[in-house]
Structure 1
Amino acid sequence: MDKTIEKKFFKTFEYGGTLHKCFDWMQEKYDLGFKLNKEDESKPKKVLSTKWQQFYDDILPKLIREETEAFDYSVIENTDNPLIDEIANNLDECKNDMQRDRYIFSLLTPFKEYSDKFNPIAEIKELKGEVNGICGIKDFERNLAMWENMPESEPIKNINGEPAGTPKEQAKACKEFIEEYKNRIERAEFLANKYRELIDGSSNNERWLQKGTVENCMSTLHFYLLMFARRLDALLLKRGINILWYQNECGIYLFERRDITAIEYEIGSYKLARKYIDEALPKYPVHEQGKNTETAENEITLPSELDTEKARKCFAKAIKAGYMRKNDNGYKWLFGGNKGQARLGYFCNKVFVQPRPINKLESLFSVQKLSASITSADYEAKRADVKKWRNEINNNIFND
C-alpha cells in the first residue's frame, strides 16, 4: 500500500499535529481543560508563569499560523482528489475482510483527539453505562436500588469476607458516582459546544474570521477535516461499506450523524446516495453478511426457554440477512443501528408466542425495555418507513 499522501495529511490532525496545538491553545485561553466536578469548574483559572504566558501569547499562535499556512489542502479540496484516490487504491489492495477492517480503522485513528473533543459520543456512552464491561450510571443506579432495599445499618462483607460498610454507605457512594458521572457528561457536552462556537462565530466571537488567529486556523482545519470525512464516507458507501459501524466499533467519530445532502454531490445524486445508504445500513458491516451466510440452524444456540425449531430457523435467516450476529454473550441485533430496537421487537413478536420470556430475550440481546417494542409490533404500521422495514423483515425471514 502507498500511504504517502494520507500520512502527510493525517499528521496535521493527529496528536502532536497542528490541530492538537489548536486544542492546547484554546484550553489555556478559554479554560477548557478537564474538570472532574462542579467544584473544579468554579475554581479560578490558574495563573501561568511569565515564560508559559509568552508561549501561549506569542510562540504557539505563531507556530499554529505557520503550520496552517503550510498545510496542503489541494489533496482533498479539488474535484481531483489525490488523497481519496490513494485510499481507494489501498482499499482495492486489501486481500481479505480483516485487512480491510484494519485499514479503515487506520483512517479514523488519527482523529481520536478531535473525536473526543468535538464528538464525545464514546465517552458519554461509557459514562452512561452503555458499553459492555465498563461501569456507568446505569450500573450505579441499579446498585443504588439494591442497596436502598436493604436494611440501612446491616453490616456487609466483600467477596473476601472483609467488612465493606453498610447498605447506607454503599448507597451514598452510588449517589456520588452518579452525580460525578452526570457532571462529566455535562462537561463533555459543554466543551464540544464551546469548541464549535469558537470556530463558527455562534458565540459572537469574531476572531474566527480574523486571518491568522488560532480560531481562524482551527476553523480552516475543521473545514477540511469535514470535507475529508464526507468524501471518505461517499467512497466507502460506493463499495457498500458503512463508516458508521467502524466509528462505533473504535469509538472515533468524524461525525455523529450522516447528512445525505452533504454527500449527495460526492455520490452523484440524492437518489443514488439514498440507495447506497439503504444498502449499507443494515449490514454490520457488509462483509459480516458474507461471513454468516452459511450459518446453519443447528449452529444456533438458545436458552431452553427460547429454543424452538422456528426460533433456530428464523435466527439463522436473520444472521444470513445481516440483521444480527452471534457474539460471546448471545446475539447482537444490527438492523437499524442504534435505533433498531423496534425492529428487534418486531422480530421477537413474530418468532415467539405469548407468554414470551422477556427477561431471557433482553439478556440474549443485551438490551433493556424490549417488552414495549414487542407490544408495539401488534399494532398496524402507519408510517411509510416502518412499513418498509417490516416488509423487508417479512420477505427475508418470514417468507415461508
Structure 2
Amino acid sequence: LSGLVSLSLRTFAYQPAQDPAWFGGWTILYWAWWISWSPFVGMFIARISRGRTVREFIVGVLLIPTAFNLLWMTAFGNGAIWIDTHVAQGALAQSAGNVDALLFRFFEYLPLAKAVSWLAIVLIALFFVTSADSGAYVVDAIASRGDPRSPVWQRLFWAAVLGVTAVVLLLAGGLKALQAMTLVAAMPVAAIMAVLCIGLWRGMKADVTHARQDLSPATSFWTGQHWRKRLEQIVHQPTASDVKRFLQKTVLPAMRDVAAEMQRQGMQAQVHDHSEQEAGAEPGAETGTVRLVIPTPELRDFVYGVRPVKRKLPGFMLSEVADEKETTRRHVVEPITFFADGREGYDIQYLRHEELIADILRNYERYLSVSADQRTVLLNRAPGHTEGT
C-alpha cells in the first residue's frame, strides 16, 4: 500500500528500467488483456447484475474480487517466497520460467499436497469452463441481437468456434501467439471503450436526473379543478404563439393584480411588458419577457419574470402530424420563470390566474425571508451598495 502510488506512476522516463521487457510486458499485456476481455466480461456481468444498485455492483464486481485477489497473492505469494528462501533453498525460483509447474511444485511443500493439487485442477477447470461459457453466451447474444429465444445449438456453435480458435493459436505459437492476438484485438476495443465511458457518464446523469425529478411546480397549487383543460394543455405541444397568448391573457393580468394591490397598500411595484416588443426596442429589455418588479431600498429588487424558452423535443416525441411545420414539430416553447438572484426557473404554463398569484406571493415571501437572514447579506445587497453607505 505504501508503494502503490509510486509504483503505478513509475514510467522510467529519464532512466533506463532494470528490466525493460518485464516492465513493458506487464503494462502493455495486462492493459490489452483486460480491454480485450471487457466486451465478454462487461456484458456477462451486466446480464447477471440486472436489478442491482450501483453500490452493490461496485462492491460485488470490484471490491470483493480485489480483496480476494489481495488475500490470495499475500498468502500464496509471500508463502512461496518464504518457502523458497527458508525451506526449498531456491528450488522454486528455478521453476519460475514454467508457471504451470511452479504452482504444483509449491503445493509439494504444503500439507495434503495431492488433495490441494487436485482441488487446484478443479478450480482451474471451472475457471476455463465459466469463462468459455460466458464468452459463448456474449457472442451468441451479439449475433442474435439479444434475443433470449436463440437456440441452444447456436450457443454451442460459438463455444466450439472459441475452443477451435484457442487451440489454433496455441498450436501456432503457444502463449505468445495468444498474447499477440490479444494485443491486436484490444486496439479497436480501446477506442470503443472511450465512447462507452461517455455513454456511461451520460446514462448516469440521466438516471440521477430522473431519480431526483420532483413534481412540476404547477402541481403544488392544483386542486384537480378544470382537469379536462389541464389534460388538453399537457398533451398539446405549445408553440411560440401559444406562449405569447398565455403571457398576455394569464400572466400579465396576474402580475397587474398583485402590483395594484401592493400599490394600494403603499408599496411600489411595476409590471414590465416586453412580450410585444421587438429586439432592441428598449435598452436592457429582453424580448418576449414580462416581469413584476418590487424595488426594495438597499437590497436587490424582487423580480418575478417569465420568458418564452424554446426546447428541442427528443426524437421519440416528435409529432407525426403532416401539416405542422418542421420547426414546430421539432421544438416546443415553454413559459419559464426567472428571478433577480439567478435561481433556476420552471415551467408555469399550467397555472391559472389565482395559482399564478399564489406562486408570485410564495416567491416574494421567500425573498423577504432570505433578505432577513444575515448569512445571505452578501447576496441580498443591491449592486454597488456596501455596509454603511
Using the size of structure 2 for normalisation, the TM-score is 0.24
Task: Decide which structure has greater strand share.
Answer: 2
Higher gyration radius (CA): 2
